Structure 1
Amino acid sequence: LIETYAPFFDSIAGGILSVLITINDFLVIVPWWGYILAVGIFSWYSSKKIVASLILASLPYFIGMFGLWPMAIESLSVIITSVLLALIIGLPLGVLMAEIKSVAFVLRPLLDGMQTMPSFVYLIPAMMLFGLGKVPAVFATLIYALPPVIRLTALGLNQVPKSVEEAALAYGATRWQLIKEVRLPLAMPSILAGVNQTTMMALAMVVISSMIGARGLGQEVLVSINRIDVGRGFEAGMSVVFLAIVIDRLTQNLAKKWEPPKR
């Protein structure tokens, strides 16, 4: 199978690698203090909490203080690439799952199976199809992190009140206009929650994917475990935690911006 469809898999690997390199080159251009400034400004804009924003902005500084900033950038490039691909695939599937019952009937057991399998299982087909390195890491991370955005997109669309849909249809909205102008904006909090969950699962998988040759913070954790280097492992582990906190807070604050005002 791999030999027969080798050109197909090579073309996919080439596309993923080009996106990954582009994102990594952009992330490298920005200086470390630029990330601290960006995290602080975005956190303050989305939450309006000065103290919390300052604390959140200080976390990237500690990653740099540990000397792990280049590896954090490598991990971040894999995360961003995986999440972008997951959104490109997951959002349309979530819409189809909410709109067409037969699609939901097929996807639901597949998503259940994907979410019950251990994360290490995804490394095997990724390694078989794409070998070792960052490309199989992106593929494994993509598959592992895909279910939340599909499920929560469909959930958000299904939770839109029927009265709102009927009002839009009464004013002559087409089915596409109903989805684009009414249902998707109202489902945005649930969709962004799916983006948050997908991003956090991608971060978890990036650490595990160091076992198939992906460089980054996960590689530092793996090396420190093999060498029983407690200090090195602590720094790498805390860097992963800091990166997770920053990503989680920023995506959750963004989701709260879309929540309807409370009456």
Structure 2
Amino acid sequence: MDGFRIPIGEWAEAGVAWIRDTLGWLLSGVSAVVGWFVDTLANGLLSLPIVAVIVIFAALAWLLRSWRFAIGTIVGFVLILGVGQWVNSMQTLALVLVAALIAVVIAVPLGIAAARNDTFSAILRPVLDLMQSMPAFVYLIPAIVFFSIGVVPGVVATVIFALPPGVRLTELGIRGVDSETVEAGHAFGATPAQILRGVQLPLAMPSIMAGVNQLIMLALSMAVIAGIAGADGLGKEIVQAMSTVDIAKGVEAGLSVVILAVYLDRLTGALGALKTQRGSLLGAIARRRGPQDARSTAAAAPAPAEQDAPVAERTPARV
């Protein structure tokens, strides 16, 4: 048994080399597009006045959650500014948002397809298990081989690592829709696409948004991994602090990551249940529209039929 060995690593290396040599033009295009999106978003955030950015973040917090969360947002981002991590935080935020957007665009259609096809779901499940259980550092090896050092391999590794919960919770939400509701849509002659858009996706939205929330949290947790790949931001600061045993820099960068994580977690968590956010502006508007819509429906209802009137009023008087 000493000579028994399955060369899986060599096979994987040969496959990576074949992809790099055959699809080099595609990899270059992906690298250029992803790098442009991250750089554009980061430069846009950094070009705005810092006060304006903090006000925008606080306004979003109040709009989606509460005024208390808006005040906490102001305090948190002022703290990031005070420890000198503003530029790194905006670079990390841009990387996380771009990676999360790419992951959502991939995860939601895959989850819908898995919910509608049991065979595809059975094939996809072990792939997702492998993606979740594989150490995150392993993703960097082919990502660096394909895209060299920089922000792009960090985005690619982040997308792969964050993708599974988005797919799983989207499938769970679609499968959790009441079958009688779907059958009612079929009975009224709706097409599968119409049922998906008008019935399944709205009812599954809380589960889908929970998947988006988890996806963003996992993407932010990959900030350090992206820093190892050479991406600018808080991850790079943490890596440098680890290599030089700089406790002060490590604490400041780590605290900035925590503030970003709390902000994104609370913000995306509120998107799944706006009506329950009593302190949010959108939730207040949605709750006010409910009674108004009910009153409008009642006012537009037809008057009772004549046969519902009292008998004494319907019977003509005898002369």
Q: Cα distance, 1:257 vs. partner? A: 1.3
- 2:57 pairs with one of 36, 39, 43: 39
User: Which has the bigger relative contact order, CA under 8 A and spacing at least 6?
Assistant: 1
Match of 1:120 in 2: 137
Q: Cα distance, 1:45 vs. partner? A: 2.2
1:1-263 correspondence runs (5 A): 1=18, 2-47=20-65, 49-257=66-274
Q: Deviations over 1:157-198 (max 9, x none)?
A: 000011111121121111100001100011011111111111
Q: Cα distance, 1:13 vs. partner? A: 1.1
Larger Rg: 2
Q: Cα distance, 1:33 vs. partner? A: 1.7
Change (3 A) 1:136 1:258: farther
Contact 1:94 1:150 in 2 (8 A): yes
Which blocks of at least 5 consecutive residues in structure 2 are unaligned? 1-17, 277-285, 288-319
Q: Cα distance, 1:258 vs. partner? A: 6.6
- Structure 1 consecutive aligned stretches of length 4 or more whose deviation exceeds 4 Å: 258-261
Q: Secondary structure at the match of 1:3?
A: helix
Give me the CA root mean square deviation.
Answer: 1.7
Contact 1:133 1:213 in 2 (8 A): yes
Which blocks of at least 5 consecutive residues in structure 1 are unaligned? none
- Return the alpha-carbon distance in structure 2 between the equivalents of residues 3 and 50 of structure 1: 54
- Return the alpha-carbon distance in structure 2 between the equivalents of residues 258 and 30 of structure 1: 32
Question: What is the aligned-residue identity percentage?
Answer: 38
Contact 1:90 1:149 in 2 (8 A): yes
Return the letter of the residue paired with 1:255. Answer: G
- Return the alpha-carbon distance in structure 1 between the equivalents of residues 27 and 67 of structure 2: 48
Q: Secondary structure at the match of 2:124?
A: helix
- Return the alpha-carbon distance in structure 1 between the equivalents of residues 134 and 119 of structure 2: 24
User: Comparing 190-199 with 252-261, which one deviates more in the overlay?
Assistant: 252-261
Return the letter of the residue paired with 2:55. Answer: L
Return the letter of the residue paired with 2:161. Answer: Y
Q: How many residues align?
A: 260
Contact 2:137 2:225 in 1 (8 A): yes
Q: TM-score, normalised by structure 2?
A: 0.78
Q: Secondary structure at the match of 1:214?
A: coil
Return the letter of the residue paired with 2:140. Answer: L
Q: Cα distance, 1:225 vs. partner? A: 1.2
Return the letter of the residue paired with 1:155. Answer: L
- Return the alpha-carbon distance in structure 2 between the equivalents of residues 174 and 244 of structure 1: 40
Change (3 A) 1:181 1:230: same
Q: Cα distance, 1:25 vs. partner? A: 2.7
